[in-house]
Amino acid sequence: MSESPQPYRVLARKYRPQTFAELIGQDAMVTTLGNAIKRDRLAHAFLLTGVRGVGKTSTARLIAKALNCIGPDGQGGPTITPCGVCEPCVAIAEGRHIDVVEMDAASHTGVDDVREIIEAVRYAAVSARYKVYIVDEVHMLSKNAFNALLKTLEEPPPHVKFLFATTEVNKVPVTVLSRCQRFDLRRIPAETLAAHFDRVARAEGVTAEPEALALVARAAEGSARDGLSILDQAIAHADMEGSHGVTAGQVRDMLGLSDRGAIRRLFGHLLSGDAPATLAALREQHDLGVDPVGVLRALLETVHGVTLAKVGGGDDPALSIEEREALADWASRLGFAALHRLWQLLLKGHDETVRAALPIESAEMALLRVIHAAQLPDPGELMKRLANGEAMAAPAAMPAHDPAPQAPAQRLPVDFPAMISLLANNGKAHMAQQLHDYIGLIRYAPPELAIRPAKPMASEFNRDLAAALKTITGEIWEVSSPDGPAEPTLLEQERMEENRARDAILAAPLVKAAFDAFPEAELVEWKRAG
């Protein structure tokens, strides 16, 4: 008679770590525990914190194994590398050891549940070295239950160990925290998760594209369990499609993610101010089943990626070569002010779309607002232009099929900031940003300009600047970089002004009194509505 087939076990359970070596992304904690075991300096209570799926309960079971392992010969002691074959190790792994008690605090929240533990700890372990109590989601215990546990938790019998796990450590009373040795399990990096999912896929006999695994790892948000659940679904999806492996396209379809290339094209339309192309690209994603909120979130991720590329942040290994090149190109052409404004506008549009009764319409309006705002001067430049009495009316955009007319000559700007604004408003935004951020003024006497770069600039920068100013103003400019003291860059001046304003606020008697009364308070930026 043939044996009945074993029921299928989901990947998250099948590949739960059985040793500390298999626990990914938590090396610091493993090292600390290993040293504590070697030196016989084990705490009586441990608190494991972290987001869902990073290995809190698995770690608690591994600690229970480490404390109770007796080795293959039955003569071993506590070890950071439990054998996995002795009776305590096998029984703990299968969840049937009589001296290792697991309790879910979400369904056992009351004093009576805790009282059972308090009564039981008085008795020695039946067959193990230590009696171990694993309490999952411990923050769910009631206040009275925590109070009942305090005395036992502070002075437990030497044969008892408490292992608490929680996703919301802020809800655990300080009196409990002070009695536990705390380990904060970190979110697992996306590249580490992708490598782990690759090993799992190979063990399952499934081929998977690296980009598909990167998408799964990104969607997991640092959780190994969430990622394995997504991978499980992706493998099933691939089988249903008759494919021999998991592809990036299938994962995107399954998760309702937008195509990264489509998002780059949409972002390009947004930057160029092409409203019809932007709306068409958004509708195309919507017709493919991508949530408008997901599109706006992807655009936010793109802005964030461009900003990191601009400040020299490390490359994301989950990005393709095309994505990295696109981010680097945008970073070279966009200034920080423009990026910050893009972020704020898209973030506002994202929040509105989340709550909107008409999500796709809300997303369209949000993107149109971004395009419209990009044509307006920066608030700081606007104030300077008003103060200088410059005209605010911008020339209407020419139709795409009409040839661009020769730019009319304009009167010379009254000062250096006005000159920068003039460049920005005449298609030289990148040059204007460089002047604002990296150039100190020595002398401004139009059409003569003497400047000092605060960082190395291209050798032809002065020549290109003079040519741009000649095209816009109709005057021949002389741009030089002689020796001599220069003013701080406009960016540095703005920062100094912000610091002075902040210092003035902090020096106010009322603010000082507030900080004295609330030492942990901090000064945050406040903007008037409207």
Beta bridge partners of 166: 49
Q: pLDDT band at 386, cuts 50/70/90?
A: low
The Cα–Cα gap between 352 and 359 comes to 8
Mean pLDDT, range 117-124, rounded to an integer:
87
Mean pLDDT, range 206-221, rounded to an integer:
86
pLDDT at site 364: 93
Mean pLDDT, range 25-39, rounded to an integer:
86
For the ranges 60-69, 191-200, 393-402, 472-481, which has the lowest average pLDDT?
Answer: 393-402
Give yes or no for a contact between 363 and 349, defined as CB atoms under 8 angstroms apart. Answer: yes
190-255: CATH architecture = Orthogonal Bundle (1.10)
User: Which position has the higher pLDDT, 10 or 380?
Assistant: 10
The Cα–Cα gap between 77 and 368 comes to 68
DSSP string, 80-133: SS--S-SHHHHHHHTT--TTEEEEETTT--SHHHHHHHHHHTTSPPSSSSSEEE
Q: pLDDT band at 385, cuts 50/70/90?
A: low
Residue 394 has pLDDT above 50, yes or no: no
pLDDT at site 84: 87
Tokens of 507: 């020096």
CATH code that applies to domain 260-374: 1.20.272.10
- Which position has the token pair 């996306």? 190
Cis bond leading into 417, ω under 30°?
Answer: no
- Single-letter amino acid, residue 87: E
pLDDT at site 390: 53
3-class state of residue 291 by DSSP: coil
Measured CA distances, 475 to 408, 411, 426, 451 (Å): 11, 9, 15, 18
Tell me the pTM: 0.58
Q: Which of 263, 416, 259, 273 is nearest to 338 (CA)?
A: 273
Highest mean pLDDT among 16-20, 373-377, 487-491: 487-491
Class of 11-184 in CATH: alpha beta
Residue 401 has pLDDT above 70, yes or no: no
3-class state of residue 163 by DSSP: strand
For the ranges 45-49, 52-56, 398-402, 483-487, which has the lowest average pLDDT?
Answer: 398-402
How much is the mean pLDDT over the chain? 83
Residue 198 has pLDDT above 80, yes or no: yes
The percent of residues in the chain predicted with pLDDT above 90, rounded, is: 20
Give yes or no for a contact between 335 and 325, defined as CB atoms under 8 angstroms apart. Answer: no
Tens digits of residue pLDDT in 282-323: 998 888 888 899 899 989 989 998 998 888 766 665 566 777
Give yes or no for a contact between 370 and 391, defined as CB atoms under 8 angstroms apart. Answer: no
- Which position has the token pair 């229970």? 64
pLDDT at site 1: 44
Q: pLDDT band at 219, cuts 50/70/90?
A: confident
Tens digits of residue pLDDT in 128-172: 889 999 999 999 999 898 998 898 888 888 889 999 999 888 999
Mean pLDDT, range 215-235, rounded to an integer:
87
Identify the helix (H) or strand (E) that includes residue 435: helix 429-438
Domain ranges of the chain: 11-184, 190-255, 260-374, 416-480
pLDDT at site 391: 47
Tens digits of residue pLDDT in 466-500: 889 988 888 888 998 888 788 999 998 888 888 88
